[in-house]
Amino acid sequence: MKEIKMVDLFSHYLDIKDEISVAFHDIFDHSTFVKGPQVDQFSKDLKNYLNVAHVIPCANGTDALQIALMALELKPGNEVITTPFTFVSTVEVIALLGLKPVFVDIDAETFNLSADQIESKITPRTKAIIPVHLFGQSAAVDPIMQLADEHQLFVVEDNAQAMGAEYISRDGLSSKTGTLGHIGTTSFFPSKNLACFGDGGALFTDNDELAGRMNKICNHGSSEKYHHELVGVNSRLDSLQAAVLIANLKRLDHYNQKRLEAANYYDELLNEVEGVRTPRRSNRSTHIFHQYTLRIKNKRESVTSKFKASDIPYGIYYPIPLHLQKAYVGYGYKRGDFPNAERISEEVISLPIHPYLTRDQQEFIVDQLIKAIAGN
Ligand SMILES: *Cc1c(COP(=O)(O)O)cnc(C)c1O
C-alpha cells in the first residue's frame, strides 16, 4: 500500500505538471512575476466559476479577511460576530483592526455558526457577521442574511474551506458559497481544495463600491500610482501562483467529486461503528469535504495513539476554541461560554481525505480505528 498522506500534494503536482511548466516558462521568459496576464486570467476564470461580479486576488486568506473588514470602514469598538470553532485568522484580523470579536456557539451537527443564537448577541455596536463554511459545507446563510438585513449588518463569508460548495437557498436556487453575503473571502494555501503552490487568497463581491475599495486597499490604497486615497496594505497574488490556480480551477469540480466519493466510502465503512459519529450533511448545502471530521467520545486518544503507531496521519481541527486561546483572553470569555465548541473540540478527529486516497488505504485506516476503539 502506498504511504497514506493527509493531503497528497505530489500526486497533484504530477496532474498539472505539463500545463504549469509551459505557463511557468512563459512567465520566466517575460519576467512578468507580478501583475502578469495570468493574474487577470485567473480572476476572470474564478468570476465565471462563482458567477460573481468581482474577484480581487490577494496574498493569502488572512489578508482577504482583513481587507474585507477594512473595506467596510468599521470603527474601533465596533463588534463583529463570528464562530469560536475555526482557524485563528478571523478573530486575529478583528483584533488587529481594533474591533471586538463577539462569539456565538456552533451547531453541534454541522460545526457551523448556530444561526438561532446570533440575534441575542446583536447590539447597537454590531456591524458585521463572519460565518465560516467549515470543513467544506455551507453555514446557514438564509437566516444569517435575514438578520443582517433586519439589523443592517454586513456579512463576510470565510469560504477558505468551501470553494466549490453550493448553498440551496429558501427559493430553491443554488449558489456557490462565498457569493451570498456582501463579501466572500478565500485562501489558496496548498492544503485547501482550490490551492496554489505557496500563499494566495481572494475576495469576491457583487457590490461595485466595495470592490473598488478592496482593489485599492490591496494596492496601498491606490488606483493611480503614487496617489493614495485610502490606508491600504500590500497584498498581491503573483503570476506563478495564478498560473497554478488556472490549472487547478479547471479541475476543482473533479477533485471535489473525488473527495465526496472518498467521504461516502468512509461513511459506509464507519456506518455501524459504535461511538463514532460520521460528518452530518446539511440538506441546504453540498459538501466538498475539505475535511472528513469524526466525533469520537472518550476514545479519541486511543485512536490517535494507534494512528501514530500505524503511520496514519490525522488532524485535530481544532483542539482549542478561539475564546479560550491565550492571545484572546482579554475579551473576557471563559470556559463554559460555548459548550458545543468546547465539547466538540475534545471529540473531533479529521481523517486523511484527498483526490488520490485509495479504497485499500481507507479500509486500512478504518480497520485501525475500529481496533483502537475496541481497545486492541
Ligand atoms: C486557511 C484558512 C484561513 C487563512 O488562510 P491563509 O491563506 O493561511 O492566510 C482563514 N480561514 C479559514 C477558515 C481557513 O481555513
Residue 56 pairs in a beta bridge with 203
CB of 340 sitting under 6 A from ligand 1: no
CB of 62 sitting under 6 A from ligand 1: yes
Centroid of ligand 1 to alpha carbon of 62 (angstroms): 6
CB of 158 sitting under 6 A from ligand 1: yes
Question: What is the C-alpha separation between 90 and 186, in angstroms, rounded?
Answer: 12
CB of 177 sitting under 6 A from ligand 1: no
* 65 CA closest ligand 1 atom index: 10
Best mutation site among 88, 89, 106 for ligand 1 pocket (most ligand atoms within 8 Å of CB)? 89
Do the Cβ atoms of 237 and 40 come closer than 8 Å?
A: no
**Cα angle vertex 121, ends 118, 124, to 5°?**
120
Give the closest residue (by CA) to ligand 1 atom 6.
Answer: 61
Best mutation site among 92, 130, 159, 161 for ligand 1 pocket (most ligand atoms within 8 Å of CB)? 161
* C-alpha cell, 370: 475500529
Give the closest residue (by CA) to ligand 1 atom 2.
Answer: 160
What pLDDT shows up at residue 1? 86
Q: What type of residue is 10?
A: F
CB of 88 sitting under 6 A from ligand 1: no
Query: What is the Cβ-side half-sphere exposure of residue 20, based on CA atoms within 13 angstroms?
Result: 20
Kindly state the helix (H) or strand (E) to which residue 271 belongs, with its residue range.
none
* C-alpha cell, 273: 461503528
In three state form, how does the secondary structure of 245-269 look? Answer: HHHHHHHHHHHHHHHHHHHHHHHHH
* Sign of the alpha-carbon dihedral angle for 76, 215, 237, 286: positive
Domain assignments of the chain as residue spans, ordered by start: 9-245, 252-374
Outline where the chain has alpha helix (H). Answer: 9-30, 37-50, 61-71, 89-96, 141-151, 208-218, 239-270, 300-309, 339-345, 359-374
CB of 87 sitting under 6 A from ligand 1: yes
CB of 195 sitting under 6 A from ligand 1: no
Q: What is the pLDDT of residues 300-345, one digit of tens each?
A: 999 999 999 999 999 999 999 999 999 999 999 999 999 999 999 9
* Helices 61-71 and 89-96, packing angle to 10 deg: 40
Q: Which residues contact 75 (CB under 8 A, 6 or more apart)?
A: none
CB of 189 sitting under 6 A from ligand 1: yes
CATH label, 9-245, candidates 3.40.50.2300, 3.40.640.10, 3.30.390.10, 3.40.50.720: 3.40.640.10
What pLDDT shows up at residue 116? 96
Question: What is the C-alpha separation between 319 and 286, in angstroms, rounded?
Answer: 26
CB of 132 sitting under 6 A from ligand 1: yes
Maximal C-alpha separation, the chain: 68
pLDDT tens, N- to C-terminus, the chain (376 residues): 899 999 999 999 999 999 999 999 999 999 999 999 999 999 999 999 999 999 999 999 999 999 999 999 999 999 999 999 999 999 999 999 999 999 999 999 999 999 999 999 999 999 999 999 999 999 999 999 999 999 999 999 999 999 999 999 888 899 999 999 999 999 999 999 999 999 999 999 999 999 999 999 999 999 998 999 999 999 999 999 999 999 999 999 999 999 999 999 999 999 989 999 999 999 999 999 999 999 999 999 999 999 999 999 999 999 999 999 999 999 999 999 999 999 999 999 999 999 999 999 999 999 999 999 998 7
Give the closest residue (by CA) to ligand 1 atom 3.
Answer: 61
Residue with cell 429558501: 170
* C-alpha cell, 182: 456582501
* 62 CA closest ligand 1 atom index: 9
Query: What is the Cβ-side half-sphere exposure of residue 77, based on CA atoms within 13 angstroms?
Result: 2
* 63 CA closest ligand 1 atom index: 9
CB of 61 sitting under 6 A from ligand 1: yes
* C-alpha cell, 107: 451547531
DSSP string covering 20-87, please? HHHHHHHHHHHT--SS-HHHHHHHHHHHHHHT-SEEEEES-HHHHHHHHHHHTT--TT-EEEE-SSS-
Centroid of ligand 1 to alpha carbon of 188 (angstroms): 8
**N-term to C-term CA, the chain:** 22
Kindly state the helix (H) or strand (E) to which residue 102 belongs, with its residue range.
strand 100-103
Measured CA to CA in angstroms, residue 367 lies from 208, 233, 364 at distances of 53, 49, 5
Centroid of ligand 1 to alpha carbon of 171 (angstroms): 30
Q: Is 252-374 CATH 3.30.430.20?
A: no
Centroid of ligand 1 to alpha carbon of 160 (angstroms): 6
* 86 CA closest ligand 1 atom index: 13
Measured CA to CA in angstroms, residue 273 lies from 263, 266, 267 at distances of 15, 11, 10
Question: What is the C-alpha separation between 26 and 22, in angstroms, rounded?
Answer: 6
Centroid of ligand 1 to alpha carbon of 86 (angstroms): 9
Is 252-374 the same fold as 9-245?
no
Centroid of ligand 1 to alpha carbon of 274 (angstroms): 33
pTM of the predicted model as reported, rounded to 2 decimal places: 0.97
